[in-house]
């Protein structure tokens, strides 16, 4: 068995915790919060998680070439139970089954070959039972982003990704049979909605969610962003697409949009990275960049109604000042007042709101690292008011990949830390108030 609490000995990598100085002295058997570094000989970058009854499983891109996925089972106290390596695949999503897991990602291919989607089905111990690959297009690059079961029986799942083109990216979405991992159908769209071009840089977010409408049809919603250009002026805007497979021609529709799809010289940026469901609808998280800014300015948070439509009046920009450790929120019309370098990465629902994880630039001279980024966790209520925030960091660049909560309200964040060109994974688990 791998021991979970292992700080990297002999290195300057550490996290500084203001909330509890003596966390490492607590007996592991009595501790339900922890920090563990996943240190291996090769770089490790977590990409996906799936909670289990006794902890969670995590997929991470492993190796300097990024051609292997390391699949890790971690128990509720941070112990590594087993580790599996899957070659020539970059897993982006892990889904839980009663008797195992499904992993989905990009198959690593030779130059000149058409890229493919790869599906892996394992048992509860992470051992492969079945796998399959299928191309989305005859040639060129595709990139898978997320997947979700599209019905309560979990007999099928939907895979989301993008096709990368020189002039404009486009969406693809495919249906896969869970038992055989066979492709049922695929669809692609060169335009996101209502004839709007996707721009040169189109990115899907981390999560794909089911959205049941009044007829209880399995619609799919996700967060994304696109970038358009006119000369040297760029325009980055957030979108919340909805895919309705039961309508004629399986129509893509727009659940909401933040920013202007037309280049208007403002040079502002709106990126949506993740989305989470709650009893009151959905929350989406991303990053706002002020006009002319080269670095992120604030977190972008917005609420969606249960039908996926955007509550525009609830759109907020969240700023952070590391000087006095203060977090401030501004409504969308006041976004020009935001200052800082806060960046939103991942969001999850909580018992009475949402938890957000992101980064900010810590320019303290004592860090000795240029553009050092630290981790921040923010708790919001359902209306978007800040309840608390916590910051964690050390000599290096921290970046969260996923955040989620367990039934008792405890919060877990996975991510990576880069220090002197060495990348390791981390798992941070705190209580419902962000403390140890």
Question: What are 212-238's pLDDT values in tens digits?
Answer: 666 656 788 999 988 776 666 667 888
Percent of the chain with pLDDT over 90: 49
Q: Is the pLDDT of residue 324 over 80?
A: yes
Question: What are 133-169's pLDDT values in tens digits?
Answer: 999 887 778 899 999 998 888 999 999 998 887 667 7
Q: Within the chain, what is the greatest distance between any pair of CA atoms?
A: 61
Q: Which of 201, 222, 345, 352 is nearest to 286 (CA)?
A: 345
Q: Which residues pair with 236 in a beta bridge?
A: 227, 269
Phi-psi region of 199 (alpha: psi -120 to 50; beta: other; left: phi over 0): left
Q: Is the pLDDT of residue 348 over 70?
A: yes
pLDDT top residue among 156 and 419 = 156
- DSSP reduced 3-state for 196: coil
- What is the gyration radius of the CA atoms in the chain, in angstroms? 21
Most confident of 168-172, 193-197, 264-268: 168-172
What pLDDT, on the 0 to 100 scale, is given for residue 286? 96
Q: Is the pLDDT of residue 115 over 80?
A: yes
pTM reported for the whole predicted model: 0.90
Q: How far apart are CA 286 and CA 146, in angstroms?
A: 17
Mean pLDDT for the chain overall: 83
Q: Which residues pair with 287 in a beta bridge?
A: 271, 299
CATH 2.60.40 fits 191-430, yes or no: no
What pLDDT, on the 0 to 100 scale, is given for residue 153? 86
* Domain boundaries of the chain, sorted by first residue: 191-430
Q: What would the mean pLDDT of 6-29 be, rounded to a whole number? A: 38
What pLDDT, on the 0 to 100 scale, is given for residue 364? 62
Q: How far apart are CA 335 and CA 239, in angstroms?
A: 18
- Taking CA atoms, 397 is separated from 294, 339, 371, 393, in Å, by 18, 21, 8, 8
Give alpha helix (H) positions in 109-193.
none
- DSSP reduced 3-state for 232: coil
């Amino acid at each position: 068995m791998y021991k979970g609490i292992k700080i990297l000995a002999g290195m300057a990598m550490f996290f500084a915790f203001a909330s509890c100085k003596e966390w490492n002295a607590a007996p592991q058997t009595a501790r339900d919060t922890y920090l563990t570094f996943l240190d291996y000989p090769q770089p490790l970058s977590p990409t996906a998680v799936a909670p289990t009854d006794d902890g969670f499983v995590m997929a991470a891109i492993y190796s300097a070439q990024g051609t292997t996925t390391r699949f890790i089972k971690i128990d509720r106290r941070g112990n590594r139970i087993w580790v599996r390596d899957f070659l020539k695949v970059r897993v982006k999503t892990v889904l839980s089954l009663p008797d195992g897991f499904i992993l989905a990602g990009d198959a690593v291919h030779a130059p000149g070959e058409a890229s493919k989607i790869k599906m892996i089905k394992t048992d509860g111990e992470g051992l492969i039972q079945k796998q399959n690959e299928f191309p989305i297009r005859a040639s060129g690059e595709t990139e898978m982003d997320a997947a979700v079961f599209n019905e309560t029986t979990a007999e099928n799942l939907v895979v989301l990704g993008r096709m990368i083109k020189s002039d404009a990216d486009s969406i693809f979405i495919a249906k896969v049979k869970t038992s055989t991992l066979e492709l049922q159908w695929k669809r692609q769209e060169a335009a996101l909605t209502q004839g709007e071009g996707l721009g040169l840089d189109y990115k899907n977010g981390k999560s794909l969610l089911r959205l049941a409408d009044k007829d209880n049809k399995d619609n799919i919603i996700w967060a994304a962003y696109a970038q358009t250009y006119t000369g040297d002026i760029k325009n980055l805007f957030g979108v919340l697409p909805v895919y309705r497979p039961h309508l004629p021609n399986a129509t893509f529709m727009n659940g909401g949009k933040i920013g202007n799809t037309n280049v208007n010289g403002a040079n502002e940026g709106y990126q949506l990275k993740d989305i989470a469901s709650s009893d009151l609808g959905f929350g989406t998280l991303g990053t706002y960049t002020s006009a002319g800014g080269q670095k992120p300015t604030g977190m972008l948070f917005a609420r969606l109604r249960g039908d996926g439509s955007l509550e525009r009046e609830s759109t907020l920009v969240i700023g952070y000042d590391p000087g006095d450790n203060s977090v401030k929120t501004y409504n969308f019309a006041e976004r020009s007042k935001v200052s800082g370098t806060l960046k939103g990465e991942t969001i999850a629902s909580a018992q009475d709101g949402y938890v957000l994880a992101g980064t900010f630039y810590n320019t303290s001279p004592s860090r000795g690292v240029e553009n050092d980024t630290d981790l921040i966790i923010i708790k919001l209520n359902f209306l978007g008011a800040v309840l608390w925030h916590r910051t964690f960091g050390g000599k290096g660049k921290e970046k969260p990949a996923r955040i989620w909560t367990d039934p008792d309200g405890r919060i877990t964040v996975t991510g990576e830390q880069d220090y002197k060109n060495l990348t390791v994974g981390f798992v941070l688990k705190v209580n419902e108030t962000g403390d140890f």
